[in-house]
Structures are given as structure tokens and as C-alpha cells.
Amino acid sequence: MGARAVRGQDLRDLEAPTFGNLLRRLRDNRGVSRERLAFNAGVSASYITHLEKGDRGNPTREVVEALTRYLDRLDPLPTEDRRQLADLAGLGGGELPSVDELRAAITPEMTRTLELHSPNMAALLDIQANMLASNDSWNDAFPGLAADGNMLHWFFGNELATRVMVNWENDARRVARWMRGLIGRSGNVDGFADLIRDLGEFPKFRQAWSEGGVEFAPHVWTLHLRNPVTGLRRRIYAQTGRLDGAAYPGQLLTILGLPG
């Protein structure tokens, strides 16, 4: 059974990461006014206001670098925040293809490769965690995921996830921080707006998202899984890679799970 959804005005509190709200947070954390930040970055205070409100186009690389230098001088910027500012300013990025377009781009060879990895877990996802293809070992490890169709929906909205993921609480915080980094890296915040609104119906996601923070997912990380029927636990090393040679470079992710 899925987690009970929450609807109402509090859903408005969920904000996708944007250049403006990140800039405002970094400025507030350093106790610096818009006027002072603007003066030291060589722009006007009204321009900073427009950037923070999101009613002005993306800043140039020169402006981003000037803002970053001054904020870093006041209090060193973590690497993650520095990278996120650049990502959210649109200094990378591209349009997000639809799930149907991505599924149509999966070749028979890709599908055969997933099966060849059995009995190890293997799957193809897009950068919004929509399930595109997976082998039987993957489906067995994450019961209910095939029906949910999205790894994040399953993780935050399906009660089975809390029984499968041994360290669910810590994993939830980590996933939320990874999401922020991924959204910035995609260069298409609007493309993730619907996903965030959908996930916002789940209290567990709202709690994890409200803690803030940004991280960038490593290529290899450790999963501790539990069989919800037998209770048997196992450690899995998850390896992630992007299919840059596919029809949509950077939009398809492969995940291979190897026993620890």
C-alpha cells in the first residue's frame, strides 16, 4: 500500500532549486545585503532583486563568477554550492526528452545487456528516475517498483521501500540532496517542476526535501537491502553510468548492482 498523500496549500512550500533561491540562501547565510553583494559583484541592487525573484533571465558567466568570488570571500563556498550556482544559471543543460521518447530509444542490444548481467541487478532509468527497462533481479530486489514506474515515487510513496531499504532514513536525505544536484546539472529546472509537485504529496519526501543541502551522486555507492518477506539482508554496490552514445546523450542512466 502506498503512503498517504498530502494535498493542500502546504504544497506551495516545495521549491525546485533555482538560481534565485540558492543565491538568496547563500546571501542570507552570510548576512550580506543585496546592496553590498551588488556593489562587490559590479551589478545593481535591483538586478540582484530580480535574480532572486526569478523574473530576469539567466545571468552571464561573468556575473556568476563575480557573485561566487564575493560570497566565497565572506565564507568559503562548498564545492557543491559553487557547482550548483553555475548549473542553475544555465551554464550547461538542455531540454528533457519525454519518457516515451527515451523508451523508444532503447535498443534490443541495451535490453539484452541488462539480461546478460543476471543474476546481478541491472536497470535503465532516465535522469528523473523513470524506469525504462530492468532485468528480473532488479524487479525482485525492489518489489512494487515496476508498477510505480518511477524510482523516486516508489522510494518516498510506497511503504515497501521502508522495508526494503535497511537505512531508509539516511538514504532519503541523501536522495533528496542528490536530486538538487541533478536538477541543477540538467540545466532544466522547469522540467523537474511536475516531478517535485508529485513527490510533494508524500510527507516523507517533504521532510527530506525541507532539510535542504545539495550533493552530487558518486558513480558507486552502497545499498543495504532487505527481503521484505524473509528479512534476509544483503549489501549491494550500485554502479551508475550515463549512456552518452545513446540517442539522448546524458539522459539515460545505467545502474548495475553487484554483491558486496
Residue pLDDT, tens place only, 57-91: 789 889 999 999 999 999 999 888 888 888 888 87
> What pLDDT is recorded for position 56?
76
* pLDDT higher than threshold 90 for residue 186: no
Does an H or E element contain 1, and which?
A: none
> What pLDDT is recorded for position 95?
64
> What pLDDT is recorded for position 84?
87
Band the pLDDT of 242: cuts 50, 70, 90. Answer: confident
Does an H or E element contain 190, and which?
A: none
Residue 213: exposure state from Cβ atoms within 10 A (0-12, 13-18, ≥19): middle
What is the mean predicted confidence (pLDDT) over 178-203?
A: 87
What is the mean predicted confidence (pLDDT) over 91-107?
A: 80
Residues 6+ apart with CB under 8 A from 15: 21
Range in 20-24, 137-141, 174-178, 181-185 the model is least confident about? 181-185
Please, what is the end-to-end C-alpha distance for the chain in angstroms? 30
Of the options 3.30.365.10, 3.90.230.10, 1.10.1040.50, 3.30.450.180, the CATH number for the domain spanning 99-259: 3.30.450.180
* pLDDT higher than threshold 80 for residue 13: no
> What pLDDT is recorded for position 92?
57
Residue 71 phi, psi (nearest 5): -60, -40
> What pLDDT is recorded for position 4?
44
> What pLDDT is recorded for position 93?
54
The full set of domain ranges for the chain reads 9-88, 99-259
* pTM higher than 0.75: no
CATH superfamily, domain at 9-88: lambda repressor-like DNA-binding domains (1.10.260.40)
